[in-house]
C-alpha cells in the first residue's frame, strides 16, 4: 500500500503523461466506460466532506475526498485495483490542481490552433500554474504573458515559468494587453466579475476558464460565450449538477466527444473556442493510478 506525498506527485507526474491520462478519461467518460458521477458533499458538522468518485472499465476505482476547511487542508485520493486491493493513497493538495491542469491541457490540445504560439495566463495562483504546466506540453509557445493584480505575484509566476518550464515568459499589469492576439488564454482567478471584456479576445483564440463561471458570478463575460463557436466542458453532467447554471447560457459540448471525433471541433482559424472546467470526477483516481504505476516501474 503506497502513501504518496505532494513531493512524490510533483516528481513523478509529467505534464504530457497527465494530459494523456486525462484525454483517455475524457473519451471514456463520453463513451460511458468511465463512471464518474457528480460530486457528493456530506455535512459532518464542523465541515463538509466532498467525494468525487470514479471507476473505469479495467476495474480501477477510487475517489478523492476533500473537506471545506479554510486554507490548504489535506486531500486524500484512494485507488483500488479490480480485485479490491487498495493500491495506495495520495495525501496533499498537489494532485487536485495538476488534475485540473491536465484536463485544461487536454482542452487546449483538442481546441486550440495547432500553431498556437502566444499564451496568456490570467491569474498567478496554483490553478494558473497547473494550467500553464499542462498547456505547454501540448503546444509550443514562443511567448507567455501572465497578468494578475499583485506585481510581486505575477513577476514570481513569470520567473518560475522561465526557470521550471523554460518558457519565454513576461508579466504584465494590463490583462487586456496580455491577451491581445493571444492564441491560448488560460483564466484562473477567484473573481466573480468578468476580469476581461469579450472584445479583448482575438479571433481564433482558445480560452480555458477555471474560476467562477456561474450566471451572474463569472470570471469571464457572457458575451464571450455568445461569440464562441464551441463551448465545451469536461463534464456537462457535473456542470448541470451545480446549483446554478453556467454563465455560458447554452448547451455545453462534451470535450471527450470532441476528442473522440464524434462531436465537431475547431474548423477554422478564426473561431473562438471556450473550455469551461468542471473537474471531471475520476480523473484524480486515474492520475493517482498512473503515479503508482510510475513508482512501481521506478522500483
C-alpha cell at 256: 471527450
One residue of 17, 51, 165, 265 binding its own copies per CB under 8 A? 51
Of residues 35 and 180, the one with the C-beta less far from its own copies:
35
One residue of 17, 89, 165, 176 binding its own copies per CB under 8 A? 89
Asked if 299 interacts with its own copies (CB under 8 A), we say no
- Residue 143 CA: distances (Å) to CA of 18, 171, 179, 200: 23, 11, 11, 18
Of residues 67 and 222, the one with the C-beta less far from its own copies:
67
Q: Provide, rounded to whole angstroms, the least separation between the CB of residue 7 and its own copies.
A: 13
Q: Rounded to 5 degrees, what angle do the CA atoms 275, 242, 74 make?
A: 85
Of residues 11 and 68, the one with the C-beta less far from its own copies:
68
Which of 131, 143, 213 lies closest to 178, judged by CA? 143
Pattern of binders to its own copies over 98-137, x per CB under 8 A? ----------------------------------------
Asked if 180 interacts with its own copies (CB under 8 A), we say no
Cβ burial, residue 21 (10 Å; 0-12/13-18/19+): buried
Of residues 81 and 294, the one with the C-beta less far from its own copies:
81
C-alpha cell at 97: 490542481
Of residues 31 and 215, the one with the C-beta less far from its own copies:
31
Per CB under 8 A, the segment of 31-39, 122-130, 152-160, 191-199 that binds its own copies is: 31-39
- Please write down the long-range contacts of 233-237, taking CB distance under 8 Å and 24 or more positions apart: 233/275, 233/276, 233/277, 233/278, 234/26, 234/29, 234/103, 234/106, 234/107, 234/275, 234/277, 234/278, 234/279, 234/280, 234/283, 235/29, 235/36, 235/38, 235/278, 235/279, 235/280, 235/281, 237/37, 237/38
Q: Provide, rounded to whole angstroms, the least separation between the CB of residue 128 and its own copies.
A: 23
- Rg, C-alpha atoms of the chain: 18
Q: Provide, rounded to whole angstroms, the least separation between the CB of residue 31 and its own copies.
A: 12
Asked if 227 interacts with its own copies (CB under 8 A), we say no
- Other CB atoms within a 10 A radius of the CB of residue 142 amount to 11
Which of 214, 249, 251 lies closest to 233, judged by CA? 251
One residue of 7, 11, 57, 217 binding its own copies per CB under 8 A? 57
Of residues 85 and 142, the one with the C-beta less far from its own copies:
85
Of residues 45 and 299, the one with the C-beta less far from its own copies:
45
Q: Find residue 214's DSSP bridge partners.
A: 217, 246
Asked if 27 interacts with its own copies (CB under 8 A), we say no
Binding residues vs its own copies (CB under 8 A): 1, 3, 33-35, 37, 40, 42-47, 49, 51, 53-57, 59, 61-63, 65, 67, 69-74, 76, 78, 80, 82-86, 89, 91
Amino acid at each position: 500500500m503506497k502513501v504518496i506525498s505532494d513531493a512524490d506527485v510533483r516528481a513523478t507526474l509529467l505534464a504530457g503523461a497527465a494530459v494523456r491520462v486525462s484525454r483517455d478519461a475524457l473519451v471514456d467518460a463520453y463513451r460511458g466506460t468511465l463512471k464518474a458521477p457528480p460530486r457528493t458533499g456530506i455535512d459532518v458538522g464542523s465541515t463538509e466532506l466532498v467525494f468525487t468518485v470514479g471507476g473505469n472499465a479495467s476495474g480501477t476505482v477510487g475517489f478523492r475526498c476533500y473537506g471545506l476547511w479554510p486554507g490548504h487542508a489535506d486531500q486524500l485520493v484512494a485507488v483500488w485495483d479490480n480485485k479490491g486491493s487498495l493500491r495506495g493513497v495520495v495525501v496533499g493538495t498537489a494532485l487536485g490542481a495538476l488534475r485540473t491542469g491536465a484536463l485544461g491541457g487536454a482542452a487546449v490540445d483538442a481546441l486550440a490552433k495547432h500553431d498556437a504560439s502566444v499564451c496568456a495566463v490570467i491569474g498567478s495562483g496554483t490553478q494558473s500554474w497547473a494550467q500553464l504546466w499542462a498547456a505547454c506540453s501540448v503546444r509550443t509557445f514562443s511567448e507567455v504573458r501572465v497578468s494578475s493584480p499583485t506585481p510581486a505575484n505575477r513577476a514570481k509566476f513569470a520567473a518560475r515559468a522561465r526557470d521550471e518550464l523554460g518558457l519565454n515568459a513576461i508579466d504584465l499589469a494590463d490583462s487586456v494587453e496580455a491577451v491581445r492576439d493571444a492564441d491560448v488564454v488560460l483564466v484562473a482567478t477567484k473573481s466573480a466579475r468578468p476580469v476581461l471584456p469579450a472584445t479583448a479576445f482575438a479571433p481564433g483564440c482558445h480560452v480555458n476558464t477555471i474560476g467562477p463561471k456561474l450566471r451572474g458570478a463569472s470570471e469571464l463575460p457572457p458575451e464571450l460565450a455568445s461569440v464562441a463557436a464551441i463551448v465545451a466542458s469536461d463534464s456537462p453532467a457535473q456542470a448541470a449538477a451545480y446549483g446554478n447554471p453556467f454563465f455560458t447560457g447554452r448547451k455545453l459540448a462534451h470535450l471527450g466527444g470532441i476528442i473522440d471525433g464524434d462531436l465537431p471541433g475547431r474548423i477554422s482559424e478564426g473561431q473562438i473556442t471556450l473550455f469551461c472546467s468542471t473537474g471531471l470526477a475520476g480523473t484524480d483516481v486515474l492520475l493517482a493510478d498512473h503515479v503508482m504505476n510510475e513508482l512501481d516501474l521506478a522500483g
